Amino acid sequence: MRFLYSLALYLLSPFIWWRVWREWLPTHSRWERLGRVPYETAPVIWVHAASVGEVMTARPLVQALETRYPAHKIVMTTMTATGANQVASLFEGRICHHFLPLDFPGAAKRFVRRVRPALAIVIETELWPNLLAECQHHDVPLALVNGRLSANALQRYQRIRPLMRDTLAHFDWLGIKDRTDLERFKALDGPVSRMEVTGGLKFDLRYNGALEKVSEDILFQCDGRFIWVAASTHEGEDAALIDAHARLRERYPGALMILVPRHPQRFDAVAQLIEDSGQCLARRSRGDGITSRVSVYLGDTMGELMGFYAVASVAFVGGSLVPVGGHNLLEPAALAVPVVTGPHLENFSDIADLLDADDALVRVSTTGELVDALAEAATAPEQARARGRRGLMVVERHRGALEATLNGLERLLPGGVSG
């Protein structure tokens, strides 16, 4: 099956190369996609996180690995340029980053031979058959962390079930997010004896003290204004959110929206949408001040979202008014910020259900409903804060995945510094 898979990759290689050609940064060689990275001499822990969301999920784990294994160099790979930027922003040069090689047999072999990891960690659902087989071939201990499979992903993988069974067999330990995901991995004939439900790493996300300066700067300029954040927005959502904010300001003229698009390549386009709406725009990337005239503050930077959330009276999490599947609802909840979301939450339905069960989530389907939810938070702030506190309690109840994950990894790479 892996031979047929590799053959298909070679046949599709022109399209694949064209697709990843755009995912590049001037600081990286395009040859990294073929496994041409520098040879490592120090012991390496390799962590792979596909893009921004997975990098954020991996953040508490990587920080813990830095402390627990100080003699090891941490090398992180991503598939996307936005993920690479997030690594640079979060870890400020402490972490070596490369783009993940394409899953051609030669590229996979070259990458593993050059990096020579003492431990390889895959975040969530990056199942690359050749790369994982090469790790096993070179006796590299291999772990899946925060393992998750959506219903749609399971359906796709079941079409190539024999290949997925062999791919999952390469893992020495699989830390699975919850029992629903565990059953889905079992449905792919994953190695049950090596699977363990650890909980979701996203619950262990904590506010980075380095972002306090971001929050303090905004609060100092805003002088008690009602602030809401529209985060991780996608094309098709921004115009509706900008319109919702204009309608909110008819009731609360001092309201400020901090709008944070998901993808950096859309920053300029979203800025144009704001200007076309007639609302006064300030851009974070330009260092614009937030004067009393500013209606929308565009968070067109990377790695500062939690700092924006920390100043919000309410947060709308995007990718949910359009059929994207939603984004991380726990980031604002971890700061006791009340959360509003759209109806499309396929990727975070389990988390949404937990928040719903404690009345810690407001779902809206239309712009009008969003305006009403925001106005309610402005009119009844104590009620909104109570909802935020309930969200924080949900997060606190489910913390512990980080410790369980570190215990699982300790079996594969003993000798870490505890505590």
Instruction: Supply the residues annotated as catalytic.
Output: 54
What φ, ψ does residue 317 adopt, rounded to 5°? -100, 120
Residue keyed to tokens 């997925």: 164
Ranges of H-type helices in 252-312:
267-276, 305-309
At how many degrees (to 10) do helices 129-137 and 2-11 cross? 130
Tell how strand 281-283 and strand 227-233 pair up.
unpaired
Q: How far apart are CA 145 and CA 171, in angstroms?
A: 11
Phi then psi for 220, rounded to 5 degrees?
-60, -40
Separation of alpha carbons 371 and 251, rounded Å: 10
Q: Please give the distance of CA 63 from its chain centroid, rounded to a whole number.
A: 16
The answer to whether residues 53 and 328 touch, using CB atoms and an 8 Å cutoff, is yes
Structure tokens at 53: 């969301």
Distance, in Å, from the CA atom of 335 to the CA atom of 389, rounded to the nearest integer, reads: 9
